[in-house]
Amino acid sequence: MTNGLTNNFRALTACFVLAVSLTGMAGARKPNVLFFMSDDLNTALSGFGHPQCQTPMLDRLAADGVRFENMHCQYPVCGASRSSIMSGLYPYTNGTLGNAGTLRGNMPDVVTMSQLFRQNGYHVGRVSKIYHMGIPGEIIAGTAERDDPHSWDEVVNIKAPEQNAPGIKTNWSPKDKGSQAFVGVEAEGDDLVHADGMAADHAIDFLKRNQDQPFFLACGFVRPHVPLVAPAKYFDRYDRAAMIAPVVPEGDLEDVPQIIRGYKRNSSTYDVTPELHKGLLEAYYASVSYMDAQVGRVLDCLEELGLKENTIVVFTSDHGYLLGHHNKFQKQHLFEESTRVPFIVSVPWMKDRHGEASRHITELIDLYPSLAELAGLEAPDGLHGESLLPLLNDPASKDWKKEVAFTISRSGGESIRTHDWRFNQWNYGRGGMELYDLKNDPGEFTNLAENPEYAERLEQLRKQLDAKRLEAGYIEKNSKKKRKKK
């Protein structure tokens, strides 16, 4: 009887807290949502402690909200991660295990995050890349072939020149001649000539046209996805010679499973010399700064229109990115730089914690239930994430119980990340394992999986991962499907 009364009291308390939060919104109108998503961005933001990359506009947003410094994606590749964010489900459940196919094709009846708002009277728009798009090809063509029409009332596809833009063009990874090479373009023209400037323009237009009704706007920026195109003035912010490459111990990958050690996205694939590496980093950071400036333009418009006090603003990336960390590049690995993303939430009526950071473990699937709760909407049953509201009220809250982030990748890669440990296994446990003591080895340089002193810890984490993968929707057909694709 006592437990029942306690649970009822807790439920009433939670409802009261939500009611107080919602009452604090400006006026009686439903809160708007402005959702920014960058592409292939790791935590290279000055507000997240990066020593070189400059992101003043996102730092300004973080000062008006809460930074989540231990936020992890569910699959470090665009299509799978974005489907997971928009469905609120782990990839094993929504069936999107890469860039192929569509979320709706795998789950015809799914109610996506933006679709929920659409069903509840919001005008919902998409600008540029939210679901997977082939970059740069689909920006050059102005298409979005894997989009989900059920998610939006209106859409804008961006058509821009990408690597064909006039300017100084350099391939910083000369061995790779394909579309994913690290081609930097110090471009001619101003911000509006290129993809993210165009996206910001259309986002501003959407805000002006919809300021008198509740809206949900998802604005996708494609930088810093390659090609690394930005107006020349953003390159001028950086001193190429001063760029600092990640430190990698000699023989770093000798103790990791061959299945991922030999994965092609490495230094030998790209032939990135130390001097080329500096140019690559300069181009990446210039692209980030260009994207950051476009976020600032949209935020300025939000304020000028008087919408800031009633608009929830979210910024994130689809997944992390390796820039020579562990002598690897791009994504689809399970190191910290691949799984961890920048994440900022600004809720204007929850000002007490603005400018603070949460170091609790969180996952991108937590966004969907969070926005639903903040807007007072009933989320669909079965979402895998947890509402971040307790952490928005108190970034160090002891009420936050999530202790594990779960990420999967190519080659049957599966990972759990706790506060102090990371455990990875490959080919669904048949292709080798990795174990890292993050307290003493935050760079994940020493794989302890074969060290007998850590056998008990390894077994504990392996069991934790097995339980998590079942909760995430793993069934044997997933592993068979993946093995067939290899």
DSSP 83-97: HHHHHTS-HHHH---
Q: Looking at domain 30-391, does it have CATH number 3.40.720.10?
A: yes
Three-class SS state of 157: coil
What residues contact residue 89 under an 8 Å CB cut-off, 6+ apart? 110, 365, 382, 383, 384, 473
What residues contact residue 224 under an 8 Å CB cut-off, 6+ apart? 38, 39, 40, 41, 284, 287, 288, 291, 321
**Residues 357-369: pLDDT tens digits?**
999 999 999 999 9
Q: What is the 3-state secondary structure (H, E, C) of 405-421?
A: EEEEECCCEEEEECCCE
Please answer whether residues 316 and 342 qualify as being in contact, where contact means their C-beta atoms are separated by less than 8 angstroms: yes
- Cα–Cα distance, 163 to 140 (Å, whole number): 9
Please answer whether residues 346 and 65 qualify as being in contact, where contact means their C-beta atoms are separated by less than 8 angstroms: yes
Q: Report residue 371 as tokens.
A: 């926005």
> For the chain, where do the domains classified as CATH 3.40.720.10 start and end?
30-391
Higher pLDDT, 133 or 271: 133
Closest CA to 275 of 251, 248, 242: 242
> For the chain, where do the domains classified as CATH 3.30.1120.10 start and end?
403-474
Please answer whether residues 88 and 382 qualify as being in contact, where contact means their C-beta atoms are separated by less than 8 angstroms: no
- Cα–Cα distance, 271 to 175 (Å, whole number): 6
Amino acid (1-letter code) at residue 338 = S
Q: Taking residues 100-115, what's their average pLDDT?
A: 97
Higher pLDDT, 262 or 452: 452
pLDDT at 29: 85
Three-class SS state of 332: coil
Give the ranges where 305-366 is alpha helix by DSSP (H): 336-339
Q: Taking residues 246-256, what's their average pLDDT?
A: 95
pLDDT at 477: 56
Residues annotated as catalytic are 78, 132
Q: What is the CA radius of gyration of the chain?
A: 22
Kindly indicate the confidence band of residue 17, based on its pLDDT and cuts at 50, 70 and 90: very low
Q: What is the CATH number of domain 403-474?
A: 3.30.1120.10
For the chain, the distance separating the N- and C-terminal CA atoms, rounded to the nearest angstrom, is 55
**Residues 79-96: pLDDT tens digits?**
999 999 999 999 999 999
pTM of the model: 0.93
**Residues 155-166: pLDDT tens digits?**
999 999 999 999
**What phi and psi values does residue 254 have, to the nearest 5 degrees?**
-65, -20
Averaged confidence pLDDT in the chain: 92
Q: Taking residues 241-258, what's their average pLDDT?
A: 96
Please answer whether residues 143 and 131 qualify as being in contact, where contact means their C-beta atoms are separated by less than 8 angstroms: no
Please answer whether residues 304 and 25 qualify as being in contact, where contact means their C-beta atoms are separated by less than 8 angstroms: no
